[in-house]
Amino acid sequence: MTKQTAKDDKPRIPTKVRIPIVKPYTPRPSEISSAISEILDTGMLTNGKFVSRFEGKVAEFLQVEHAVAVSSCTSGLIMTMKTLDLSGEIIVPSFTFSATGHACYWAGLEPVFVDCDLRDWTISIQACRKALSSKTRAVLAVHTFGNPAAVDALSEFASDNDLELVFDSAHAFGSLYQDRRVGFGGHAEVFSLTPTKIITAGEGGIIATNDAHLAAELRIFRNYGDDGSYDCRFVGFNGRMPEFNALLGLATLEHADEEVKARNSLAAIYREHLSGLPGITLQEIYPGNVSSYKDFTILVDEALFGVTRDRLSDFLADRGVATKKYFDPPLHRQSAYRSRVFRKTDLPVTEYMCTRTLTLPMYSSLKASEVQHICNLIKLCHQSEIMETRKRPSDASEH
């Protein structure tokens, strides 16, 4: 037997990308050119009116009392957890983006990774219960792919156990939880404004909270801990958002409702064509909730679909369709955390899902016909594999 060459486990990049995985909405230059001139002419590059205007509009959009604009979602999460003055363990899902865990680390907390729910793919309350210890201080939940986590159940769990609750809402700008805009949950919800998210400021984050004291402290934190007196009250850092970025944020915020609406229409097409396919499972969005569809992700079960997630990804890549294997590896399997000593919990759903989930293209400028085309390719991949399997025995009997 010849030695199998090491399989290149890097995702295959389509040789010629016809349909990218993500395409951020950006305003036309003419829409913001006069404001850019104003920033340049006045020299107010930071701490100016565009950041405060952006904060006001975001607070209005999210229907929260305070929105604090910061340099990133990661820095916003760190500042929030630091301001809540937590130490000890924090319960976090493993099936998420790396920054969720990193923020806990930089806030001086020990992440305890827990499982997600097999239906809605967000943090599992049962897993949270099992992970409780005398050192648990907080829960950091994630609205995975834009699907709202169980905000009410998590709030109840947190208050019953005297824990702080914070949301990594990087994916959930414009999502609805029980007909209400995501952003009101827990002590604070932190949104990301990188180009892969629903609205973008190039880079940036927004902390949404109804706690006036927390908001005031965060504004000092993002300014080195200096409240304006120059005598720093505590050790903060520079977590500010520049004016240019706020300007971009303002322009993309105008488009937020349309962005989410368009994504939901495209998701409906994906769902219509893929939900009946053997071996394909979709994330369940509960009645009353609306996902922002930051991502549209499918779960591919090889036993029924006939093809592994990785082969489907290559099949699509070869035909110019880009995909991502979110979140593989999940946090507890990443090098940064594997070697660290952290309390282990059972993660059977995460282990099952991480090798089977595939994120498909999703953005408002994606055409319905392109979604249809991607669905056809997925069906074709499934059918050609079924044909192959049927062909094999007859091939053998041919001679």
Ligand X SMILES: *Cc1c(COP(=O)(O)O)cnc(C)c1O
Q: Which residues bind ligand X (CB under 6 A)?
A: 72-74, 96-97, 99-100, 142, 168, 170-171, 192, 194, 205
Q: Which is nearer to ligand X, 170 or 269 (CB)?
A: 170
Query: Quick check: 24 and 173 in contact, CB under 8 A?
Result: no
Query: What CA–CA distances, in Å, run from 141 to 4, 153, 165, 388?
Result: 41, 11, 8, 43
Q: Which is nearer to ligand X, 202 or 236 (CB)?
A: 202
CB of 260 to ligand X, least distance (A): 16
Q: Which is nearer to ligand X, 349 or 375 (CB)?
A: 349
Largest distance between two CA atoms of the chain:
90
Task: Name which of 312, 377, 322, 310 is nearest 17 in CA terms.
Answer: 322
Q: Which is nearer to ligand X, 192 or 280 (CB)?
A: 192
CB of 197 to ligand X, least distance (A): 6
Q: Which is nearer to ligand X, 22 or 386 (CB)?
A: 22
Q: Which is nearer to ligand X, 293 or 305 (CB)?
A: 293
State the Cα–Cα distance between residues 292 and 305, nearest whole angstrom. 27
- State the sign of the Cα–Cα–Cα–Cα dihedral 85, 88, 93, 95: positive
CB of 50 to ligand X, least distance (A): 18
CB of 341 to ligand X, least distance (A): 24
Torsion angle in degrees (nearest 10) through CA of 11, 15, 16, 18:
-30
Phi-psi region of 115 (alpha: psi -120 to 50; beta: other; left: phi over 0): beta
CB of 8 to ligand X, least distance (A): 26
Task: Name which of 29, 26, 14, 31 is nearest 365 in CA terms.
Answer: 26
CB of 266 to ligand X, least distance (A): 19
Torsion angle in degrees (nearest 10) through CA of 163, 164, 168, 174:
110
Q: Which is nearer to ligand X, 205 or 306 (CB)?
A: 205
CB of 37 to ligand X, least distance (A): 28
Tokens matching residue 276: 């009946």
What's the order of all strands across the beta sheet hosting 296-300?
Answer: 280-282, 296-300, 357-360
Q: Which is nearer to ligand X, 32 or 142 (CB)?
A: 142
Q: Annotate 109-122 with DSSP letters as a single string.
A: EEEEEE-B-TTT-S
Tokens matching residue 352: 């099952």
CB of 168 to ligand X, least distance (A): 5
State the Cα–Cα distance between residues 68 and 36, nearest whole angstrom. 22
CB of 329 to ligand X, least distance (A): 15
Torsion angle in degrees (nearest 10) through CA of 191, 193, 194, 199:
110
Q: Which is nearer to ligand X, 247 or 280 (CB)?
A: 247
Beta bridge partners of 176: 181, 290
